[in-house]
Amino acid sequence: MSNTDLQAASSLAQPVAEPAGTHAIFIVLTLNPGDDNTATVRDLCADFEALVRSANLRDEQRSVRAVIGFGADAWERLFGASRPARLHRLPEYKGAKHVAPSTPGDVFLHLRASRMDLCFELSRQIMGKLDGAVTAADETHGFRYFDARSMVGFVDGTENPVGAEAAEAAVTGDEDPDFAGGSYVIVQKYLHDMTAWERTPVEEQERIIGRHKFDDIELSDDEKPANAHNAVTNIEDENGNELKIVRVNMPFGNPGKGEFGTYFIGYARDPAITERMLHNMFIGDPIGNYDRLLDFSTAITGSLFFVPAATLLEELAEREA
């Protein structure tokens, strides 16, 4: 894609290539039966940007950002047969020891802001618009943890692309012209066995992640095992060029229930890149070389959505399936 085409596509996009922020709410919804419910979701498409603008009026920093996406199973029901070329149901990835499940999801909301009350208020307004049309499959509240650390104590998103490189990685272009300016997003919810993790010596934790814990410097090739997390998730094309996605993961937790986790969220121009990462993590390349982090982290959800360009979102509101 030329720089001009990239800028044009990026200007259409929902805010998929922006930093994670300090607070977020992630909501996965399933669409209830009935034509009235599909009409309700389309009405939300028309009102979505206005709801975000209204939430930002309450924030001097204007930090509120929101993304809405749709799953393969609901797309035709909502918007008709014409759909993004690479939109499909996320497959299950079953390795010899660990499994990445594929779980239902028709509508996805990613809300972020500098304060949780802003995320909460926007989610309340959106869910009020959807009242009765959908059922919540999962809702997770994420937060920034110290200096952007994951729940297991390592900095998350160190290798994320920024600026134009982030847009190139996350935003669709002329390869699917009817859906240019969109993005594919894969989300997974991981629960961590923090008791076992905290018993693991820091030096071994570093070998599992592939980075030094405190200064965030990557281990050398001689130090890093082949099954380190950042080794198995490093994806290259046939020419050896690294293929990137935009990760905006956030930790979450409920200490009273002993629940601690990471909400993985990866925006990509092509979902096949993220899916290769998942294959490498759970099955291995070569087979059996799975991600050692999975010995401490269990995936309990997994869904793929397409995030339409902001302009297309308004047009979808007028479509009849």
For residue range 242-265, list pLDDT tens digits in order: 999 999 999 999 999 999 999 999
Closest CA to 306 of 207, 179, 194: 179
pLDDT value at residue 11: 65
- pTM for the whole structure: 0.95
User: If you average pLDDT over residues 186-198, what whole number do you get?
Assistant: 98
Res. 96: pLDDT tops 90: yes
Residue 6: the pLDDT is: 55
Catalytic residues: 156
Average pLDDT over residues 96-104: 98
The pLDDT tens digits of the residues spanning 24-81 come to: 999 999 999 999 999 999 999 999 999 999 999 988 999 999 999 999 999 999 999 8
Instruction: Average the pLDDT over 6-22 and give the result.
Output: 80
pLDDT of 7 > 80? The answer is no
Whole-number percent of the chain with pLDDT over 70: 96
Mean pLDDT estimate for the chain: 94
